[in-house]
Structure 1
Amino acid sequence: MTDVSAASESADEDAFGIDAFTLDDRLRLFHFAAAEKRHEYLWLLRAFDRGRANYQVLLHASDAAGVLERLAAEHPGAAAVGDVQPLLDALADWRVLDRSYDGTRAANLAEYRNRHYVYQFTQAGYRAYRAVEDVLGARLEDAQLSRLVFPDILADLHALADANSAGDAEEVYRKLGRLDSVLGEMAQRAARFYLMLGDLARTNDTRPEVFLAHKDALLGHMREFTAELGRYAPLLAEAVEKTAATGVDRMIEHAAEADERLFRSPAERLEDWRQRWQGIVHWFAEREHSEADRLQDATVTAIRSVLALLRRVTEARRGGVSRESQLRHLAQWFISCESDEDAHALFQAAFGLGAPRHIAVPYADPELIPGRTSWWEAEPVELARTLVQSGRSPGLHGPGRIERNEAQRERLRAEQLKQQAERRTAAASLAADGAHGRVLDEAETRVLLALMNVALAARVPASRSVCAASGSAHGVRLTLTPVEGSTTVHTVRGNLHLNGLRLEVTA
């Protein structure tokens, strides 16, 4: 039993499936989307996806070519793919496809030796392909908030509480898993919806008709969603409390017991389902700053933003002046210029992007503005009128007034006197009590090290038996005398060992 448990623990530590892919391997999965023949790679992978949908997982090169011909007949805009074998080899090298050989296809010994290769999606490769397809198939109108999901969530919470009370592990597993997937989808829908609103606000100047055509449906959709969320939020919070009252630990154990993931240990399953339940509580529990409240606030803010955008677009179209019309008029002016000099003068007057004369002008106090502060956030530099108008620096008219910070000088002087007094006190303590037989404090240690620095710097190299060194500062003298053996001075920073020397401090 010990060997079996040890083997299972070592198997859990090894990477399996998609976890065996390193970071570089996962990034290489998307090489086909940026390669020179990216359209051919995409249609070839679509052929494998078509075969996968028809339960034909393994495809030979000839099978893939046949599926590609059918796709080309169904989609006239499909890219023309010639020889598929180099493409299959590249996809196998990038580990998007898994390559193996099927000996049953060989009709003779020569074909068997040539290894009749067949290909199929790897787990990570299929995810990379689906990610690319999701990006290519994304549409603006796909982003929407789901208000019809709240009744289902409420019903699932009541069913989860009943199943947990009855001890039905499989029903607990199904309901808890469904709640987790529904909440994940709702969060993704909300994120896509608010990103769509941001894109719509940025493109209203170039395409205001798109916004005006959908404004009523957009406002109605958000108002219905926020009304449903406000109506169901207290009911969902009550249902979460009712479900938690039936026993959270027992519910998590039931879900982990029915979980059929083979390569997860029981402890990992318990932790996974506990985090999923905590996510549900974080969404709907009746407390401050729940995810439901944040979603409600975000929707109300989005309604205000859409109304402000509608007001801005309406006023621009009513007055006939918008950014588009202004740029069109400016472009017409450039076309009407008779010479390049006139066009340059118009450009200078319109955009003011001529030679920047103040690019090298520093702040009066360079330490006032940190060097990492962006130009957009920092205070503007004060410029002389002569520099802006004529490009000449202003002349000096006598010496400038010296700026003195008396308060800062007084503070620094007081700090300096305080430090000198502390050093004198520590030096006097060293001279009176000596440096041996006790532990020197921080101030005495600093003074001792400073005295040793002076003494060793002034020491004349000579024989150890006759050479002594001394240094004086702060009214005391330190003398280093040669002795047999070594001496030790104990300080708060540690022990100072002197080999063949002994120090004495006198007044």
Structure 2
Amino acid sequence: MTSAADPHANPPVGGTGRAGEPYQPFAHLTAENCALYRRVMGVFVRAKQEFTVHLRPEDVHLGLPPEVRPPLDGVAKALEQLAKWGNLRADPDTSRVTALEDFYRARHIYQLTRAGEAAEEALAAYDGALGRRGELQAVALADIAVQLRAVLALARRPDPDPTVVHLSLLALVDRFSGLAENARAFMGSLQRTVDLHEAEVEVFLAYKQRLIDYLERFIEDLVTRGAEIAGLLEELGVSPESPVGPLLRLAAEREASDAAPDAAAEALAAARARWQGRWDGLRAWFLSVPGRNSQAKLLRSAARQAIPQLLAVVQALNERRAGRSDRSADFRELARWFAEAPDDDARHRLWRSAFGLHSARHLTIDQEALAERDTDPVPASASWYDAPGVRISPQLRRTGSYERRGRARAVQNRDEARAYLAELARKQAEQTAAARARLATRGEVRLSDLDELDRDAFRLFLLLLGDALSMWRPGTTSVSTTTNDGTMEIRLTRLPGGGLAEIDTLDGVLWGPEHLVEIVDLTSAGEVTGAGHE
């Protein structure tokens, strides 16, 4: 237990207070009984959340987990040390004094100091940031779209309520901030997962497929919801004269209404700049501009790149399981053997065994030569020039190889495997061709005029739609792009006032703003055009 003479208590940790005196709210993190100090401070944090201010040593003792609860004297000494560091404040406990002798006994009640409370808040934030995994929130995309539609409805009102406007924008910013922060944390943890070299093979393989499905599902949601959000942001605008301009001014004025009279102008200017920055950040996340891609597009690209990286890790793990040689690992193991060798002679033997640098006297010779070697042995260190010659087999001299060759290994018949792969490729090509034929019709078509799409056609359609939306820029009304393999071309045209379009699929109904779309199958003899959906 750390006492007043604890060596860990001497160096001040954290700087000095306002009056110049040293304060040590983080000193308990490097002390010998750090775990006990952290648990004691945790009892005070939980008590404060329950609106309990003062605690006696008995209360702290009961608040500790039973499996790690020290004796009451140990808790009392820990409280005294935390009070010396400034994390706690000790006050005389006069409520239990019944005799004059009790005044001379050290009885105290303890409460958190401002420095101790700030230190615990900082440690909680630190632990939370380290343990945060993040997530790709497809639900947040839907919530942002709903909030933007509500903001657009407020912008169309002649005299919107400032309270409703402020709360709606706060909810929008809060949901967007959570989405961006969680996406950043998830991609960071995903990269650490991809870079993992010592993962348990079975656990990683079981996790891999769920992660890939998770990424693909989010990419599809980001394509569909992102297009809707981008359209709403374009309609709301960005300038003070746009529909969102008056709403941002109302939110800033309501935020600055509680400022002091002498700082009202500065508070209003700061609030306006803050809200304009939030709105610009939201637009930059979903809208691309010339020379800069949107964060949503970058996230979509990073998520797509993570899938082949995960598959590469799986391939490396499978190679490791198959026992394939890793030369760098072999050399590291050999270096360990050299370091553990007892003497230089053992290291020389290990060197000759590892790299085959033996004397050339291992060639096959006859019994007469062996008898001569037994009578007059030649040391291994003798030079070949000074040593007597060695009689070798004429066959070895003629062919360079003495061992008898066995029967050649039979060639495996892989016709069945090749036929299976050819059939699989044929079926995939037929499915892709059928999907292209399903999407391809002649001329521009409204989205609402499409019939039900099967899964293959719908998956191909989403890829085409994602390529088209990635080319969309603010102010454009029509885009045209081709797929990476050059087999299809899509032309997407905005249809103002067209309302909503719905497309039936086997997995549900896809809806969005009405557009004119033309899809050209470039592999067919003539240009066949068709329809798709945003």
TM-score relative to the length of structure 1:
0.52
1:32 aligns with 2:28: yes
User: 1:206·1:324 contact (CA, 8 Å) conserved in 2?
Assistant: no
Note the C-alpha offset of 1:219.
0.7
1:190 aligns with 2:186: no
Letter of the 2:124 partner, please give it. R
1:119 aligns with 2:111: yes
Note the C-alpha offset of 1:297.
1.6
Letter of the 1:253 partner, please give it. L
2:283 & 2:224 partners in 1: Cα distance? 18
Correspondence 1:158-177 to 2 at 5 A: 158-164=149-155, 165=157, 166-177=159-170
User: 2:145·2:229 contact (CA, 8 Å) conserved in 1?
Assistant: yes
Q: Which residue of 2 aligns with 1:254?
A: 251
The percent identity for this pair of structures is 25
1:42 aligns with 2:38: yes
Note the C-alpha offset of 1:153.
0.9
Which has the larger displacement, 59-68 or 315-324? 315-324
Aligned match for 1:272, one of 271, 274, 277: 274
User: 2:248·2:272 contact (CA, 8 Å) conserved in 1?
Assistant: no
Query: Secondary structure at the residue paired with 1:119?
Result: strand
Letter of the 1:119 partner, please give it. Q
Q: Which residue of 2 aligns with 1:129?
A: 123
Instruction: Give the 3 Å change call, closer, same or farther, for CA 325–25 of structure 1 in structure 2.
Output: farther
Q: Which residue of 2 aligns with 1:504?
A: none
1:260 & 1:112 partners in 2: Cα distance? 55
Instruction: Give the 3 Å change call, closer, same or farther, for CA 115–335 of structure 1 in structure 2.
Output: closer
Deviation by residue 1:83-136 (Cα, 9 ceiling, x = unmatched): 445544554565555x37588847589869999554126352232231244267
Letter of the 2:146 partner, please give it. A
Correspondence 1:65-464 to 2 at 5 A: 65-68=61-64, 72-73=65-66, 76-77=67-68, 82-88=73-79, 90-91=81-82, 96-97=87-88, 99=89, 101=91, 105=95, 117-120=109-112, 122=114, 124-134=118-128, 138=131, 142-164=133-155, 165=157, 166-244=159-237, 245-258=242-255, 266-267=267-268, 268-287=270-289, 288-321=292-325, 326=330, 330=334, 339=343, 341-343=345-347
User: 2:58·2:72 contact (CA, 8 Å) conserved in 1?
Assistant: no
Which has the larger displacement, 339-348 or 127-136? 339-348
Query: Secondary structure at the residue paired with 1:35?
Result: coil
Letter of the 1:65 partner, please give it. H
1:180 & 1:168 partners in 2: Cα distance? 18
1:95 & 1:173 partners in 2: Cα distance? 41
Deviation by residue 1:228-277 (Cα, 9 ceiling, x = unmatched): 11111121112223334323254243254157877996233333333322
2:344 & 2:72 partners in 1: Cα distance? 50
Note the C-alpha offset of 1:40.
0.8
Query: Secondary structure at the residue paired with 1:148?
Result: helix
Note the C-alpha offset of 1:65.
2.9
In the alignment of these two chains, the number of paired residues is 322
Instruction: Give the 3 Å change call, closer, same or farther, for CA 250–213 of structure 1 in structure 2.
Output: closer
User: 1:201·1:309 contact (CA, 8 Å) conserved in 2?
Assistant: yes
Letter of the 1:39 partner, please give it. A
User: 2:165·2:247 contact (CA, 8 Å) conserved in 1?
Assistant: no
User: 1:101·1:116 contact (CA, 8 Å) conserved in 2?
Assistant: yes
2:175 & 2:216 partners in 1: Cα distance? 21
1:330 & 1:132 partners in 2: Cα distance? 42
TM-score relative to the length of structure 2:
0.50
Deviation by residue 1:189-244 (Cα, 9 ceiling, x = unmatched): 22332232333233334533332121100111111111111111121112223334
Letter of the 1:120 partner, please give it. L
Q: Which residue of 1 aligns with 2:394?
A: none
Instruction: Give the 3 Å change call, closer, same or farther, for CA 347–30 of structure 1 in structure 2.
Output: farther
Deviation by residue 1:413-471 (Cα, 9 ceiling, x = unmatched): xxxxxxxxxxxxxxxxxxxxxxxxxxxxxxxxxxxxxxxxxxxxxxxxxxxxxxxxxxx
Query: Secondary structure at the residue paired with 1:55?
Result: coil
Instruction: Give the 3 Å change call, closer, same or farther, for CA 241–103 of structure 1 in structure 2.
Output: farther
Q: Which residue of 2 aligns with 1:485?
A: none
1:53 aligns with 2:49: yes
1:174 & 1:347 partners in 2: Cα distance? 76
Query: Secondary structure at the residue paired with 2:322?
Result: helix
Correspondence 1:474-485 to 2 at 5 A: none
1:321 & 1:193 partners in 2: Cα distance? 34
User: 2:57·2:72 contact (CA, 8 Å) conserved in 1?
Assistant: no
2:233 & 2:162 partners in 1: Cα distance? 18
Letter of the 1:49 partner, please give it. V
1:191 & 1:350 partners in 2: Cα distance? 48
1:348 & 1:241 partners in 2: Cα distance? 74
1:153 & 1:272 partners in 2: Cα distance? 19
1:25 & 1:237 partners in 2: Cα distance? 55
2:229 & 2:68 partners in 1: Cα distance? 49
Greater percentage in helix: 1
Instruction: Give the 3 Å change call, closer, same or farther, for CA 253–154 of structure 1 in structure 2.
Output: same
User: 1:45·1:129 contact (CA, 8 Å) conserved in 2?
Assistant: no
Note the C-alpha offset of 1:332.
9.3
Which has the larger displacement, 36-45 or 312-321? 312-321
Note the C-alpha offset of 1:170.
2.1
Letter of the 2:144 partner, please give it. I
Superposed CA RMSD: 4.4
Letter of the 1:219 partner, please give it. I
Note the C-alpha offset of 1:51.
1.4
Q: What are the ranges of 5 or more consecutive residues in structure 1 without an aligned counterpart?
A: 1-19, 352-507
Q: Return the index of the structure with the highest Cα Rg.
A: 1
Letter of the 2:300 partner, please give it. Q
